[in-house]
Structure 1
C-alpha cells in the first residue's frame, strides 16, 4: 500500500510525501526494483544526486533487463558534470532497447553539450522522423546550425512552422539562420502568428524574430519597437534583482585586494587552460576560433565547470562566493584544479592548451590565477553601446537576465567594467585585452598579439579558421561562419535616438 501511495504522491508532484511513503514501503518489506527506482528519481529531484545514484544503481542490478533504469542512471552522472559517464549508461540502455526514445533524447542532448554535433545528428534525425513535434524539429535544426548546415536547418523549420505557425521559438531560430531581404523575409507570416499566439513563451521569441527581420531589411523603427516589446514582456516574467548582483560584485572587489603572483611558464607536460572572458555578444567566439585553429590548441567552448566548482566549495563551507574562499587551503586549490582538468577532458582532444570561453568566468579571475598559475587570461571587449545593444537584441535562455532592460543592462555593464579594472590591478600583465573592432580591422596584427600572449608560435591557419569543421553552438554560430566581418561595428547608431536609458546608465564607460 505504501508504494502505491508513494507513486500517487510522486505523480502529484509532492516529493516529500512520496519520499516518506517510500521509506514506509522500504520498512514494510524487502524493496523491489520498482521502489528502488522511484526512490532514485525522488532523491534526484530533491537535489541529492549521490543518494539517487545509489538507489538507481541498485534498481538496475535488481532488474538488469530494464532499459529505463540504466537510462535514468545517467541523470546523477549529468548532475555532477560527468557527461561521458552518463552517455555510457545510456549506451547500455540502448543496447537493451535500441529504439528507447528517452535514451536517444538524453544522449543527443549530452553529445551537443560536448560539442559532438556530428555524432548527435543521426540521433536527432531519428527522433524527428519518429515524431515531428516542434521541439524535436527545433533540436534537429540547432544541431544542423552548429554544423553549418543552414539550408537543411531552414528547410526543417519551415516545414514545421507550416504546421505549427504559432511556435515562437521556431520563428526565432529561423530568423537567425540568414539575413532576411524583402524577397525572403517572413514578416507577414510572423505577424499573423503573433496575432494567434496565446502564451508568453511563443510571443516573446516571435517578437524577437520580427525585430530581427525588420532590422535585416533596414526598417529600424519597427525593429526597435518589436525589440522593446519583446524585452519588456520577457523582463516582466523574471524575478531578477540587479541589487543582488551589485552586492556580489562589491564583495568580490572587497575581498580580493592583494596582487596575485605573476604568471609562471607552463611545464612541459602541463595542461594549460586559456580563459577567454567577456560580456556576452562581444566576439569571444571569433577569438576562440582563431586560437582553436592553432595546432597546439583545442577550442573547448563554454565549459560549465568553474561556477560548478565554486558552488561546490560554497556548499561545503556553508557560505556564498567569495566568502567561501576565506582561508582556502592549498589542498582546496589543488582539488579544484584536479577536478577542473579531469572534468574538462571530455571536451578536449588531448592538446596541451585548451580554450574555455565561458563569458562570466571573469567573476573568478582572482581564484583562477591561484588554481592555475600558468593559465592564460584573454578579455574580449567592444564598444559599450554595441555590446549592450547586441545583448538587448538577443533572447538568451535562463541566463543573462540583466539584458532585458536598457537601464539594468547599462548598470550591469558598468559593474563588469569596474571588476575587470580591479582584476587588471591585481593581475598585472596576465590579462590580454582584445578589442573586437581592432580585431576585425587588422586581424593579422591582433591574432599575432593574441598568440604571443598565449606563448604560441604564429601559424597561418589561425586566420583560416573557417576551414575548420568544429561545431559552433552559441548564438554566434551563423555569424562566425561568415569569417571576420565588421558590419556589426557601430550598429547602435541605427537606434541612437531610442537608447537614452542605456546611454545614461553607461555614462563614463561610453568613452572608456
Structure 2
C-alpha cells in the first residue's frame, strides 16, 4: 500500500509504459482491479500493445464482470496471434456458441495449422468441448475433453500418490493433539473466515455471499496461510508425528505471521475471508491459533465436481490432478478422509455447507451460516451477483448471476461417459 501511494504521487501524464506496468501490478495485487484496468488502458494508449497485455486486461475486466470488454480484448489478441489456442479457450468461456455461428469451423481451421502435440492444440480441445456442450452434443464434447485432458497430463505430469501421502502425514501429525486446550491458551484476536473445499465445489459463490456482508472484506485466494504454516509449524509435505510445532509459541507465530500479511494487503476490517483450498490440511492448528477464526467447508455432489474439474484448465501448476478422471476420484476420496478426520475433532467453528442447500434454499441456508459465523443478517447476502468484489477464479462468470439451480444437473449429460448411474 505504501508503494502504491508513492507510485500514485510520482505518476505523471507522460509516465512510461514500464512505470504504468508497475502501477498496475500493485493495484492488481491489492485487489484494486478496476484501477488496474484503468492503468493498463493508459499503458495501451502509448502504443506497443502486445498480446499478453491484452489478455491481462481481458482477465481483469472479466474479474469485475465486464465480459463484453474482455471478449473485445481477446478478439484483438486473436487477430494478432491466430494460432494461439489458449485465446480461443478463454473466449469460449465468455461467449455461448449458437448453431451456425461458425465457431467450430474456426477452431478446425486453426487446429489444422497447429501440431497436435503442441499446448496450443490442447487448449483448442477444451475450447471445442465448450462449444459442443453449448450446442448440446455432449458425447462429442466429452471426447474433446478426453483429448484435452490427455494433452494437459502429457505436458504437466502428476502423481496423485503425492496427495495421498500428504493427507496421511497430516492425519498422523495432528492426531491426538488437544486442540481445545491449545485454543484456550491462544491470544490472537484476528477473525478470518476460511472458505475451503474441493475446487469447483462452490467456494467462490460462498465467498461472494459472505463478502456481500458490510463487515466482511474479501481476501480471495491470498495464499498467505500455507506460507505461514510452512514457516511456523512445518511444511505439510513433511508432516509427521512430532515433526510439527504445535506449541503455544508455534501457534502464536502462525497467527502473527498470517494476520500481519493479510492486514498489510487488504487493510483492517472486522472480518476477512480467505478462500484457500489447502486449509483443510491443517484446519485444527489454524482454528487453535486464531480462536475467533472459522472454517466454512463447502460440499457438493462429487459427480458435479468431477465433470466440472475435467472441463477446466487451471493456472499453471494448480489442480494438476484434474487432468485424469481416476486421479480426480482418488483426490476426492482423500478429501473425504480429511473432512471426516476434522469433523470428529472440530465442532463449533468448523462449518460444513452443502452447495445444493445454498442454491435450492438460499435464505434459510445463508441465514443459518451467518448466525454460525456470528454475523448479523443482511439481505445483501442473498444477492451475490450485486457484490462488486473482483472474482479472479474460473467461476467469475457464474457468480455474476443470481443464486440459481442451473449448476445442479450439468453433470447428468456426461454421466454415461463417466460411468455414473443417473437416477
For normalisation by structure 2, the TM-score amounts to: 0.90
Structure index of larger Rg: 1
1:482 is aligned, of 397, 401, 404, to: 401
Show CA shifts across 1:279-298 (max 9, x none). 11111111111111112111
Counterpart position of 1:391 = 309
Structure 2 residue 413 is the aligned partner of structure 1 residue 494 = yes
Counterpart position of 2:368 = 449
Counterpart position of 1:354 = 272
Matches within 5 A, 1:198-237: 198=115, 200-237=118-155
Show CA shifts across 1:191-239 (max 9, x none). 2112212462312222111111111121111111111111000001223
Deviation (angstroms), 1:149:
0.9
Structure 2 residue 244 is the aligned partner of structure 1 residue 326 = yes
Structure 2 residue 124 is the aligned partner of structure 1 residue 196 = no
2: CA distance, partners of 1:390 / 1:318 = 27
Contact 1:263–1:373, Cα closer than 8 Å, also in 2: no
Counterpart position of 2:212 = 293
Q: Which segment is superposed worse, 321-330 or 417-426?
A: 321-330
Contact 1:204–1:233, Cα closer than 8 Å, also in 2: yes
Contact 2:356–2:408, Cα closer than 8 Å, also in 1: yes
Show CA shifts across 1:242-271 (max 9, x none). 112111110111121235218989x9x933
2:40 is aligned, of 114, 117, 124, to: 124
Counterpart position of 1:253 = 171
Matches within 5 A, 1:393-472: 393-397=311-315, 398-472=317-391
Contact 2:192–2:271, Cα closer than 8 Å, also in 1: yes
Contact 2:386–2:400, Cα closer than 8 Å, also in 1: no
Show CA shifts across 1:398-431 (max 9, x none). 1111100000110011001111110101112332
Looking at secondary structure, tell me which structure has more helix per residue: 1
Unaligned runs of 5+ in 2: none
SS at match of 2:192: strand
SS at match of 1:426: coil
Structure 2 residue 59 is the aligned partner of structure 1 residue 115 = no
Structure 2 residue 71 is the aligned partner of structure 1 residue 147 = no
Deviation (angstroms), 1:172:
1.4
**CA distance change for structure 1 residues 94 and 195 in 2, over 3 Å: closer, same or farther?**
farther
Count of paired positions? 418
For normalisation by structure 1, the TM-score amounts to: 0.75
Deviation (angstroms), 1:176:
1.1
Counterpart position of 1:372 = 290
Query: Once superposed, what is the RMSD of the aligned Cα atoms?
Result: 2.9
Structure 2 residue 79 is the aligned partner of structure 1 residue 162 = yes
1: CA distance, partners of 2:309 / 2:236 = 34
Show CA shifts across 1:42-100 (max 9, x none). xxxxxxxxxxxxxxxxxxxxxxxxxxxxxxxxxxxxxxxxxx46656866986798204
Contact 2:384–2:403, Cα closer than 8 Å, also in 1: no
2: CA distance, partners of 1:127 / 1:393 = 34
SS at match of 1:261: helix
1: CA distance, partners of 2:183 / 2:354 = 25
Show CA shifts across 1:465-510 (max 9, x none). 322322111111111001212111122211112113xx69xxxxx9
2: CA distance, partners of 1:96 / 1:188 = 45
SS at match of 1:386: helix
Contact 1:111–1:120, Cα closer than 8 Å, also in 2: yes
Structure 2 residue 196 is the aligned partner of structure 1 residue 277 = yes
